[in-house]
Structure 1
């Protein structure tokens, strides 16, 4: 059965199928696929398939074979497909992931070498030899891949690999002809794709066809446009071709390359495609001549536009003047060579002449211009065109030579000078617009702007530049813009403009330059003085004490102006945040709280300080806690009142302590003193500390003649009962706090030296016992 009959039989079996591609891995041998399906020329001889590699699947499936897409939206009707997965997973719809592997399916080192890649796997390879009589061969193909993932950054990072490698049969160095047109870049997912938001910008987008929907005729997520692989050959020399595609890194996410049936043929180069997207389309109404560079007298030519023959066009070149796909069939020595080129036309930019008005910094008629300020008027705000450069002459603009350097800060050489803008579009088509440079010497008066110095008086302050704009509003044209610059150089170059709140960089006084523009034209240039006003310098915040016990007496607070006469300022006093009626340099007060004084000079600059008045008072002794009757008696004073207190015992002129407890206090009568640390007064009180002498000496020398409890008298510890016993418990005497004490006798007779015992009972129920010695 010949190949034509095979194809007819194959087609007859698919008429009942839907609009998806059909594949066949069994009807054609590899030799038939190359010699009878791919190649369409009787001038390509000695076609011999030398090597075939594919996936070793358990079924009869393969990774390459014949495809038929007749009646579908796929650009090729028939051809050969090579995949990194099962052939049966190539047809649509695009609803499953082609993600196949097979045992011992390795990659290809020659593909890795020529693409400078590593770690390929699942390589499908068709290798063959051929001999051509022409100087050029070509064939058309489409690359498709599951690794095209719309909106997914993986598209930027991962791609399977393929190559169409060719070399002379006697050579060893391959050339890869599966390249992005006009480049040496291999076609891959990562080199041909649109912009991936959040991932990467577009690369060679002109050659990307689409991300495929679910009802696509092939089961791959995306594909390129039709691309042409072209190789230069020596007539009658045998060449070796290696068609190879492989997964990279792992078997995941398969890819495929589709080769159009009959497209491997002799070709003639008609030059590059001239496309708007590529930036080399034909501009305006110009003409373009397509050359075959095959002027032989025995050669014959047929020219076509968009597939229709151009009757009468039989020369070796064709002059065109409109967009179209132009092709040629060149018959040369009975061999037919084919060539095709796409020519697109685009309009030259529509431009408008413009006038730029700039303000002269002096009266010589010269000014600095940002020539690009004319862009909106020249292009009429058309964002698809742009000014590429400016030129001093129209001739230079036409030839695109001697462009003005520094066009954003160009100084005119004479009044009413004209420069020329070259305006281009994406296809590099251009038009020339005239820009007339005019000069104005307008100025307006701008009053100085004052600002008060800050808390630190250093000559620097914040200025609200919007106040300047408001002050001159009645002098401004409609829709004017006001721009401020700190230096004349910044003004001339229109750089480092300032706005909003500005702190002067030169202390005390600084000049700013003001440019006023309307409709992108300079209206006037003026200056404005920034003046930093003196701010009152005051004493630091302070704290004061008011003795509450001195009310209604007053203390005086002062505004605290330094280095000037206080009467040169205005005063406002606030008490606890509320304004008072006091407006003098001082404030007599008798109430505690926070007093704030705002001191304002005649220019309206003010400073403030806060004076905090804290309470204090004469202390009140609320209680005295006495631990008595021991060798280490203590006295603790409980005092109340505003303020801080300190304490002394017996000596008001001695040392006071901050602790309110005294230790080791001797028995007897004492005076305690409590005073306010802020000198708001002192309180005193007499106290009694009980104590019991350890001995007495009734020997008639008038010293220590009687034994009596210390700390008792008619005023303290009244009703105290004292009972004396000898060591045997015999009652010797009884007396009270009002007594002079025991004289050491019993019934008028002196008792001997010995230890005697006592019991002291207080009215509050406390009882103290102990003993003492009588010594004679």
Structure 2
């Protein structure tokens, strides 16, 4: 709300702080016009239709005199003006397609004479008859002649024989005083400044200044700042793509008419676009430029002229759809923008503000039936220079903002113009109140309101100036009276009378509402409030008793109030209180799936308990009704009363041997009565042993019921006084409180250890978990043997077992390194079984033992033999029967004709060597008939054939 009111006051103030009314009527565009005499209104009676350039002038009372597009001149009656010879004024040397085709300048000290300065362009519309770039010219107009004025002289060419190169730019500003005006234009990199005074236009002696920057194009605006100190030039070079034109800023000396700097380049075409319109804020502190970004974007930028590096202050004010267009400052203090083919103008409402506070309205003034083109009428920039009203005591300018004065103070307002021969008339809200140059104002004599001074100049210029300022009286903040701030001196030297104060603690009691005030403290000797003290850690500069000045400032109105406050330092010892023991926290306390405790090494303490202990030991001198008890971690915190330990105390964690300081003061007061110290000692959690990987309980196979075996779970913490609770699968095991528990079932065993500490009310507790797994030796369920295959390497044995263990298998061995784990826990297949007796051992990897099978017989009837004495298959026999598994072996061997050639009846027989009755039999197939009887009486019969091979 305050910001809105301030903006309203800004608008009220800016409407009328400008004295000149010669710029109060505008004609531009296609039959567009505005009357600024009062609230701006659209004019639709104009005869002007221009693509770009135009110019208008009114008298000092704001009455229209005449206007022009640079070719034609119309009187206040909207009729074409004539030359003295009667010829119509429709052939001036400007051009409606020139950016600033015309500029009208009044003759100093002669209210009847005006000069029209024109600049042409290279562009010639079809059948227009316009001359090709006639350069820079001027005409003289006498408004007392004819029916609204006549052109009595001109054109006079100012182009110095450089017509064709001349730009489309012209501007003007007041010189050293109201008797001189400088008219400026530029050709290539040369600025031409022509002085206009009571003798007319000094066109024979232009002031020529060279620039380091040469514009690539003639288009775009040039403006001088209202205070005459700066010149801004827009080089609208729009070639292929974005173009290359730049915005250039120069320093200008309005006494000599010279450019005094080489020019600063403020924009980058590829980023910002190419500039066309330029304008300064009324106070000459801000520069604005309108730039065109192809294909159809209108961009407005602001630059802060008070900054050392103006280019770095570039800020975008608005960006929207549109072609190139002008910017023009008006007598209401706003800068208006013209985007072609619109029925309205945009406006920068408060151009002297910083960019983040600038208000831009895209639709500010409706033009009725008129429409915009690219141009707006330029004027002598000095028309818009405000008459400043100053605070006589501080020399601060008052007339560019709404001024807030403080109730109880007196102020002197003076205008910057100081001529003893001038007549000053002050009025408030339209009522005359004084006729002095200086006006003294307070809240009792005149109070809040709109103050206006009217200055009637009796100097050679004979002009009337006005200045206005809106004044609002606001109350000063209220400061409450507080008792002395008494601080305990318990630093390194607690008897020297010096210690630290936290002055911020006083703020809540000094003001009832601190939301919109600033509170600062000063030494009483600092009467200018130039050195604010460190509020959060101030050490008194005078021992024991000391005074300070407090200053409370309203952040919005800047009104302030002061008051003296007293500080006092009391020598103080440090009371030592008994230490407090607390349990460390369990890191897994909030994890419902946790299986064991993890001590954090820290814990929290309920300081309300300590407060009660201190009270109980005070002998009745302390209570929570009469005193405040505050706890801190350091002496500095306790002194400054910062970082206080506050409920909920679970938020403050302490490690072992931590210091705590308690500050005791009278209830609700900042005074310190005593300070004490104690330590917080952390007691470790009693964490029992556990085994999450599993304890193995070996049981019988098959498992007996009841199960007689147990395993001892040892959870001992090492502290003999600790007690225990045991849980099985979440259920408490009654009456089991020792460190060791003998478990006889598989499952989850949780053990809690408890430790009693004399200074901690609740026993400390930690927990752990055992997982018990049952296992046993394997029980053989089935053995399947496959032997006598075509290849003895294809023999195999498959075994199936039952049990709770984790089993691995070995053939004919019980060495741990020979066991192998199969893909299945309860089955395993051995291959490449050698002929003979074999056994299988099954080992429980959990350590519950090894089971070994009975002997398994594997035999093989040879498929051939080669009796050549090389040691390999020299005889034929049944392999794998030469053991105690078989009792009887009967084998008969026949030739192909069925004749018995050999017979084996001994299981240890070395085999047939291929000889019959001393005769070596030839290579051939032979047949056998075998009968094997094992020791259990089981008979195995087999008939087949084999080959005798001789090599």
Return the TM-score normalized by structure 2: 0.53
Q: Are residue 639 (structure 1) and residue 801 (structure 2) matched?
A: yes
Q: Take 2:631 and 2:885, find their aligned partners in 1: how far apart are those partners?
A: 91
Q: How does 1:681-760 map to 2 (within 5 A)?
A: 681-692=850-861, 710-711=880-881, 724-726=893-895, 728-730=896-898, 732=900, 752-754=919-921, 756-758=926-928
Q: Are residue 324 (structure 1) and residue 445 (structure 2) matched?
A: no
Using a 3 Å threshold, how does the CA distance of structure 1 residues 439 and 375 change in structure 2: closer, same or farther? same
Check whether the contact 1:554–1:590 (CA below 8 A) recurs between aligned residues.
yes
Task: List per-residue Cα deviations over 1:434-462 (Å, max 9, x = no partner).
Answer: 32335687989787241237789999722
Check whether the contact 1:597–1:610 (CA below 8 A) recurs between aligned residues.
yes
Q: Take 2:877 and 2:664, find their aligned partners in 1: how far apart are those partners?
A: 109
Q: How does 1:43-122 map to 2 (within 5 A)?
A: 43=109, 47-52=114-119
Check whether the contact 1:49–1:126 (CA below 8 A) recurs between aligned residues.
no
Q: How does 1:339-358 map to 2 (within 5 A)?
A: 339-342=466-469, 344-347=471-474, 348-355=476-483, 357-358=485-486
Task: List per-residue Cα deviations over 1:707-750 (Å, max 9, x = no partner).
Answer: 557459998899x9977431x242649999999999989xxx95
Partner of residue 91, structure 1: none
Q: Are residue 463 (structure 1) and residue 603 (structure 2) matched?
A: yes
Check whether the contact 1:417–1:438 (CA below 8 A) recurs between aligned residues.
yes
Partner of residue 448, structure 1: 580
Q: Are residue 368 (structure 1) and residue 392 (structure 2) matched?
A: no
Q: Take 2:334 and 2:56, find their aligned partners in 1: how far apart are those partners?
A: 30
Q: Take 2:47 and 2:303, find their aligned partners in 1: how far apart are those partners?
A: 30
Using a 3 Å threshold, how does the CA distance of structure 1 residues 609 and 404 change in structure 2: closer, same or farther? closer
Partner of residue 553, structure 1: 709
Aligned residues: 638
Which residue, out of 400, 419, 424, partners 2:553? 424
Q: How does 1:481-630 map to 2 (within 5 A)?
A: 484-494=631-641, 500-504=650-654, 508-515=656-663, 519=668, 521=670, 525-536=675-686, 538-539=688-689, 541=691, 543-549=694-700, 551-562=707-718, 564=719, 567-581=720-734, 582-603=736-757, 604-629=763-788, 630=791
Q: Take 2:686 and 2:585, find their aligned partners in 1: how far apart are those partners?
A: 9
Q: Take 2:400 and 2:503, find their aligned partners in 1: how far apart are those partners?
A: 28
Which residue, out of 348, 360, 363, partners 1:223? 348
Check whether the contact 2:424–2:437 (CA below 8 A) recurs between aligned residues.
no
SS of alignment partner, residue 355 of structure 1: coil
Check whether the contact 1:397–1:421 (CA below 8 A) recurs between aligned residues.
no
Task: List per-residue Cα deviations over 1:213-271 (Å, max 9, x = no partner).
Answer: xxxx983554224879xxxxxxxxxxxxxxxxxxxxxxxx9998788999839986543
Using a 3 Å threshold, how does the CA distance of structure 1 residues 11 and 53 change in structure 2: closer, same or farther? closer
SS of alignment partner, residue 472 of structure 1: helix
Higher relative contact order (CA 8 A, sep 6+): 1
Q: Take 1:618 and 1:645, find their aligned partners in 2: how far apart are those partners?
A: 9
SS of alignment partner, residue 489 of structure 1: helix
- Contiguous gaps of at least 5 residues in structure 2: 1-21, 60-64, 67-103, 129-186, 193-209, 229-245, 265-277, 290-300, 305-313, 319-331, 354-371, 391-395, 588-595, 616-622, 702-706, 758-762, 822-827, 868-873, 933-937
State the shift of 1:342 in Å: 1.5
State the shift of 1:521 in Å: 3.2
Using a 3 Å threshold, how does the CA distance of structure 1 residues 587 and 109 change in structure 2: closer, same or farther? farther
Partner of residue 288, structure 1: 412
Q: Take 2:509 and 2:212, find their aligned partners in 1: how far apart are those partners?
A: 49
Task: List per-residue Cα deviations over 1:623-644 (Å, max 9, x = no partner).
Answer: 3343422432333433332223
Check whether the contact 1:40–1:264 (CA below 8 A) recurs between aligned residues.
no
State the shift of 1:617 in Å: 0.9
Using a 3 Å threshold, how does the CA distance of structure 1 residues 491 and 457 change in structure 2: closer, same or farther? farther
Return the TM-score normalized by structure 1: 0.63
Task: List per-residue Cα deviations over 1:421-441 (Å, max 9, x = no partner).
Answer: 012234543211232335687
Check whether the contact 1:636–1:661 (CA below 8 A) recurs between aligned residues.
yes
Q: Take 1:336 and 1:327, find their aligned partners in 2: how far apart are those partners?
A: 14
Q: Take 1:448 and 1:554, find their aligned partners in 2: how far apart are those partners?
A: 44
Q: Are residue 264 (structure 1) and residue 383 (structure 2) matched?
A: yes
Q: Are residue 671 (structure 1) and residue 839 (structure 2) matched?
A: yes
State the shift of 1:587 in Å: 0.7
SS of alignment partner, residue 483 of structure 2: strand
Q: Take 1:452 and 1:58, find their aligned partners in 2: how far apart are those partners?
A: 94
State the shift of 1:584 in Å: 0.9
SS of alignment partner, residue 338 of structure 1: strand
Task: List per-residue Cα deviations over 1:78-115 (Å, max 9, x = no partner).
Answer: xxxxxxxxxxxxxxxxxxxxxxxxxxxx999989x999
With 757-766 and 315-324 compared, the bigger mean Cα shift is at 757-766
SS of alignment partner, residue 506 of structure 2: helix
Using a 3 Å threshold, how does the CA distance of structure 1 residues 464 and 431 change in structure 2: closer, same or farther? same
Partner of residue 472, structure 1: 611
Q: Take 1:526 and 1:173, find their aligned partners in 2: how far apart are those partners?
A: 72
Partner of residue 310, structure 1: 432
Check whether the contact 2:105–2:114 (CA below 8 A) recurs between aligned residues.
no
SS of alignment partner, residue 186 of structure 1: strand
SS of alignment partner, residue 294 of structure 1: coil
Task: List per-residue Cα deviations over 1:13-43 (Å, max 9, x = no partner).
Answer: 999xx99623647189956537847878963
SS of alignment partner, residue 768 of structure 2: strand
Partner of residue 136, structure 2: none
State the shift of 1:586 in Å: 0.7
Pairwise CA RMSD: 6.2
Check whether the contact 2:252–2:259 (CA below 8 A) recurs between aligned residues.
no
Partner of residue 409, structure 1: 538
- Contiguous gaps of at least 5 residues in structure 1: 61-105, 129-135, 139-158, 193-198, 229-252, 698-703
